[in-house]
Amino acid sequence: MVAWFDVWAATEAINAICVRSWRRKGVAAYLVLACSQQHSFINLFSSSHNHPPSPIMNPDASATIKATYTKRSSTYESASQSSFHFCQAQEYIQRANLQPGQSVLDLACGTGLVTIPAKQYVGPTGRVVGIDFSDGMLDVARRKTSEQGLDIRYIEHDIRYIEHDITDLAPLELDKFDVITCASALLLMPDPRYAVKHWSSLLVPGGRLLTDVVLERSLVAHTILTHIGPEVGRALLWDSSWVENENSLKELFIDAGLVVEEVYESDGYETREYRVEDGAEVFEQSMFRKLGDLEIREEAKELFVERFREMAGQDGVVREEVRFYMGIARKEL
């Protein structure tokens, strides 16, 4: 979901096959630190049982992600960190076309940027549930909800690995929903296809799912770190290797048995410019600075600065525009 993007690299080595595959595909950039729009991301409804996690991703990412967002929760919605998240949340609400009395499940809800407006639209007769595994982010969401006098159920839960089927969520007492949203978190799933399939099982017939993936090369820091992670032997907290264009999201929906309503490229949520000499500073604002030993970090930093310089225009400025592929699908009647 770059100063306001925490792009992570973790400590698991990637085997040579994965590295070659990544380089061959030229992996599209993605994820945001918020690239959850709002959120601290939960790796939701994915399985390590019959559907093993992506070898590109760090299998132990949850603790790192949770700690990061809990620490940032009190300042998460400051303009400098989350300006694009508000714009994205508004688009989710507009495209969801929520009606009074409907039920909504907001996955990776974070501080409630989608959750709270959703409740305002469905009204007192509607039902809204938000799930996130950062207690700090949920504390902010609950406070905002209370201040507005709304009735929203928040659940602190990390359901990254589900061993069997959706009935494993029974303790959460989740029912079927008219609309499910998951903003800027899909690429954190070890198995996105299996995740979407499980989400669809929580929809009522005719219910709609809205989610997104970041546009290739949309985020400068993420783009660079995606490529240099394998070069320095670091597994990542996301896997964008399956995203080639908007058809990748369409295929994901179809594989899950959903009817594709629309997949489109969003408007630019935010643009930023960096001087070419800012490369080292941008690197230091990423999560890579906290992970791995000093030698690895220095190697990664050197590579980052080199690639950052290559991305600059003739005027010595590196530009980025935040865009996403937004996908809307529905469950057949």
Average pLDDT, the chain: 77
Q: Provide the whole-model pTM.
A: 0.77
Please tell me the predicted confidence (pLDDT) of residue 105.
94
pLDDT tens, position by position, 206-258 = 999 999 998 877 888 878 887 887 788 766 667 777 888 999 999 999 999 99
Give CA angle at 331 (251, 132), nearest 5°: 85
The residue written with tokens 């959750």 in the block is: 115
pLDDT tens, position by position, 155-197 = 887 645 433 344 445 555 667 999 999 998 888 787 888 889 9
Residue type, 7: V
Residue 33 predicted with pLDDT over 60: no
Cα 243 to Cα 5, 16, 229, 288, distances in angstroms: 19, 21, 18, 23
Give CA angle at 11 (28, 300), nearest 5°: 60
Please tell me the predicted confidence (pLDDT) of residue 74.
81
Please tell me the predicted confidence (pLDDT) of residue 25.
35
Burial of 137 (0-12, 13-18, 19+ CB in 10 A): buried
For residue 179, what is the enclosing H or E element? Answer: strand 177-182
Backbone angles phi, psi at 330, to 5 degrees: -135, 155
The residue written with tokens 């225009």 in the block is: 313
Please tell me the predicted confidence (pLDDT) of residue 60.
59
- Alpha-carbon distance of 129 to 9, in angstroms, equals 31
pLDDT tens, position by position, 122-154 = 999 999 999 988 899 999 999 999 999 999 999
